[in-house]
Amino acid sequence: MRPIVAHISLPALAHNLAQVRQYAPHAKVISVVKANGYGHGLLNVAQGLTDTDAFAVLSPSEAIALRDAGYQQPVLLLEGVFSAEQLVDVDRYRLDMVVHHAAQITWLQQATLSAPIRVFLKLDSGMHRLGFQPADYQHARTQLASCANVSDIVLMTHFANADVSNGVTQAMQTVAQVMADQPYQRSLANSAAVVQQPHTHADWVRPGIMLYGATPIAEKTAASLGLKPVMTLQSALISVQEIQAGESVGYGSLFIADKPTKVGIVACGYADGYPRHAGTGTPIAVNGKLTRTLGRVSMDMLAVDVTDIAEAQIGSPVELWGALVPVDAVAQAAGTIGYELLCAVASRVPFKVYG
């Protein structure tokens, strides 16, 4: 068996959830576990988030998986239903749903449910992705308030720029105008807003990436925010060789040594989810010591500089990302974000849950 494995830490998840509550002590927490738990495994992460007040997923199938596993907390469908037929599962599994367009209201009005459900009415406060326009929001709310299939309404929006210090100013002005003097709870804050926009916390916060120990704010490290990495992507050296000055490593000969260099080959490549565009110098750790990648990442392997790690040998452990190598640092080297790397770990990589 190849040595690559993704370790998932339940204690780190529980710690990060507790950290959310430190940032937003007066709000209830909807833990966002869509995209297969941000690549960690939906039911894996649910084990570490048993103290959450609610879960949020993308599809009814994810919600059903949580229910079948015994989770009784509210489960919110972040994009609502995609057809009237899906309301059967919403009713059967007692799910909450976002309502962001008029057709969903019509489906609710026409449905026959065993009991009313809670809906989150989404306002487009400037992101222009999903949600009712401010001019249409009150009418949508009135329709839902009079709908026999709706038990409760939570007013909701999503911020486009919560990671910028003043990035929610305009959005919050819209929220204040549209949601003022309404007898309903509100859910506004994503991870970035949880961390640095305390005036947006309201009644329900919706942390996502921060639960997994990556940063929602480019200028701040996850560690500086008190977060712990949940996933450690680990492999091992499967070859060690020495090259001379002028010799190259990998496809395209992108790395050419300027001095004698000891090169380790790691059993991990872009088919495992490691970013192909992570060039020479991307941080990596061998035997617990930080070093750098060399040359182009290939499908199943990548090269690392072990010149200054005398004990490096075949079988030496390698951390691709985790406690020593923040996933955000690898993402930055590859020109992307930590979210993408965590979500992109391939199905051929085995997962081991501990804690």
Give every CB contact of residue 155 below 8 A, 6+ residues apart in sequence. Answer: 120, 121, 123, 141, 179, 182, 184, 185, 186, 187
| Phi/psi of residue 155, nearest 5 degrees | -85, 135
Residue 128 has a pLDDT of 96
**Does 2.40.37.10 match the CATH number of domain 231-354?**
yes
Residue 288 has a pLDDT of 97
Residue 102 has a pLDDT of 98
- At 34, list the tokens: 């869509």
Please tell me which residue in 23, 34, 38, 339 is annotated as part of the active site.
34
Instruction: Return the number of other C-beta atoms located less than 10 Å from residue 244's C-beta.
Output: 9
Residue 212 has a pLDDT of 98
What does pLDDT average to in each consecutive run of 10 residues of the chain (355 residues)? 97 98 98 98 98 97 98 98 97 98 98 98 97 98 98 98 95 96 96 97 98 96 98 98 96 97 98 97 98 98 98 98 98 97 98 96
pLDDT digits (tens, 9 = 90+) for 14-28: 999 999 999 999 999
- Cα-trace Rg, the chain: 23
pLDDT digits (tens, 9 = 90+) for 105-142: 999 999 999 999 999 999 999 999 999 999 999 999 99
The domain limits of the chain are 10-214, 231-354
Give every CB contact of residue 172 below 8 A, 6+ residues apart in sequence. Answer: 125, 199, 200
Active site residue 212: no
**CB environment 54-87: b (16+ within 10 A), e (fewer):** bbbbebbebbbbbbeeebebbbbbbbbbeeeebb
Superfamily (CATH) of domain 10-214: Alanine racemase (3.20.20.10)
Portion of the chain with pLDDT greater than 70, in percent: 100
- At 322, list the tokens: 């985790």
Instruction: Return the number of other C-beta atoms located less than 10 Å from residue 280's C-beta.
Output: 17
Give the span between the Cα atoms of 200 and 159, in whole angstroms. 10
Max CA distance (Å), the chain: 77
Residue 9 has a pLDDT of 98
Task: Give how far the C-alpha of residue 177 lies from the chain's centroid of Cα atoms, to the nearest Å.
Answer: 31
Active site residue 23: no
pTM for the structure as a whole: 0.96
pLDDT digits (tens, 9 = 90+) for 274-284: 999 999 999 99
